[in-house]
Structure 1
Amino acid sequence: MGSELVWRWCVAGNGLMRCFYNNNTTAIAKASSLYLSSPKPKPKILILTPVPPLALVRITRSSSSSFSLNLGQGYSSSSSNENNEKRKKKGGREYLEMTEQELMRECEMDTFKASGPGGQHRNKRESAVRVKHIPTGLIAQAVEDRSQHMNRASALARLRTLLALHVRNTVDIHTYSPPPDLLAILPLKSTLRSSGPQIGPNNPKFLLGMQALLDLILAVDGSVSEAAKYVGLSTGALSRLILSHDSLRMAVNQLRASKGLKPLK
């Protein structure tokens, strides 16, 4: 791994004030001693690495963590590793149940200029919004409004749809019973449904039902006829439900293609 380099970073506002590194530990000690004895703010972060940093890390005034870097790898910290492990344990349903604020904490957001409505006023500001969901890598954007706030809300709504379509929950088909979210989007002819209106695509709860249906179809290896048996519908009735929603149809056909099955039409 080679000699260790010691980096001392001092947080100042939103940036880093000073950084020491050297293969010579004596030089490090002298430099650090001089710096620590100065009237300047003292370092809050100690980083031990075998190589210089590969990228800058954004550190806020309140940040205080110990980072380590292995050769050829990126930065990590005990706190960020714990957060990443928690994120990995989350299922798709948990993402959909998050509030807007909770979901934003899982995302990176950037703004940009894009063509759109507004005539002479368009493109005057970076009102278009792009959000990236860090745990899954899914990206959604909105450009149609001149309000950045409105575009952020639209981008998050589209991200929720992507999470429903592409993030699966584990299903034990041997003990499977359709969850209420799935039953709610089924037509009334389902033998498992209770009374109440069928939830349609315009209802925010439809995403939970759509996600649950995709979980089931994946669990039965893409077979719509098998999935229909578990939800109390005929194959034709379930196929019509799938085909009535373009995004759902495309997601089901992707699952079927991965299993070597023909697409629904």
Structure 2
Amino acid sequence: MSSSRNAWATASDDVLLGQCEIDTYRASGPGGQKRNKTSSAVRLRHLPSGLIVIAEESRSQHENKAKALVRLRKACYLQIREEILPETVSSLPEWSTALNSEGRIHLGRKNPAFWAAAGVALDALDVAKARVSDAAAWLKVSTANLIQFMEEDPKLWQQVNVLRARHNQKPLKSS
């Protein structure tokens, strides 16, 4: 897959930050007096993709910038679709490393490879016009295994249903 998405998502922090406009601001809400006196909240605008992420939980601007970078990488996989060929999607390294020896998806969302595999799954679902059974067949996994994988993260599940709506399919219900 010739992928700007993968290049952005796997770039070093410095390279990725160099592609962003960085805004700092004072976050409102709980956190004590210090929170309202320092501009610790961070908004990253990734110029090549147009993605915008924020982090404002911490009173440390440095920590919020690190959290925003993590969110930007996830957003790349969730929001940016790559064109794929159904007959070759299962052999993409981002996907093939997600499968165990029995051919089942074995990644939890804390695994660093989870988001790259999620991006490929969403790409396949998009090409399949949001038909999960077709996407699963192209990815060489069972429909149930693919659904279970996509349910692993709420934002991933939400994006699945965004794709389904875009392709005039009914939303999937969580089990």
TM-score in same-fold range (> 0.5): yes
Instruction: Give yes or no for contact 2:108–2:152 (8 Å, CA) kept in 1.
Output: no
Q: TM-score if structure 1 supplies the norm length?
A: 0.60
> Higher relative CO (CA 8 A, sep ≥ 6), structure 1 or 2?
2
Who wins on radius of gyration, i.e. which is larger? 1
Normalised to the residue count of structure 2, the TM-score between the two structures is 0.88
Cα offset, 1:116, TM superposition: 4.6
Partner-residue secondary structure (3-state), 1:114 = coil
In the alignment, what sits opposite 1:161? 74
Are 1:201 and 2:114 matched, yes or no? no
SS at structure 2 position matched to 1:145: coil
The count of residues paired between Structure 1 and Structure 2 equals 172
Hey, what does 1:241 align to over in structure 2?
149
Residues 1:181 and 2:89 aligned together:
no
CA deviation vs aligned residue, 1:92-141 (integer Å, no higher than 9, x gap): 11111111111111110010001255323221110111110111211111
Q: Percent sequence identity over matched residues?
A: 40
Give 1:254 shift: 1.0
Q: Deviations over 1:55-102 (max 9, x none)?
A: xxxxxxxxxxxxxxxxxxxxxxxxxxxxxxxxxx95211111111111
The alignment's C-alpha RMSD in Å is 2.1
Deviations 1:17-43 (A, max 9, x none): xxxxxxxxxxxxxxxxxxxxxxxxxxx
Q: Which residue of 1 aligns with 2:131?
A: 223
1:132 aligns with 2:45: yes
| 171-180 vs 153-162, greater mean Cα deviation | 171-180
State the secondary structure of the residue aligned to 2:141: coil
Letter in 2 for 1:208: A
Counting helix residues as a fraction of each chain, which structure ranks higher? 2
**Residue identity opposite 2:170 in structure 1:** K
The 1:116/1:228 distance shift into structure 2, 3 A limit, reads: same
- The answer for unaligned runs of 5 or more in structure 2 is none
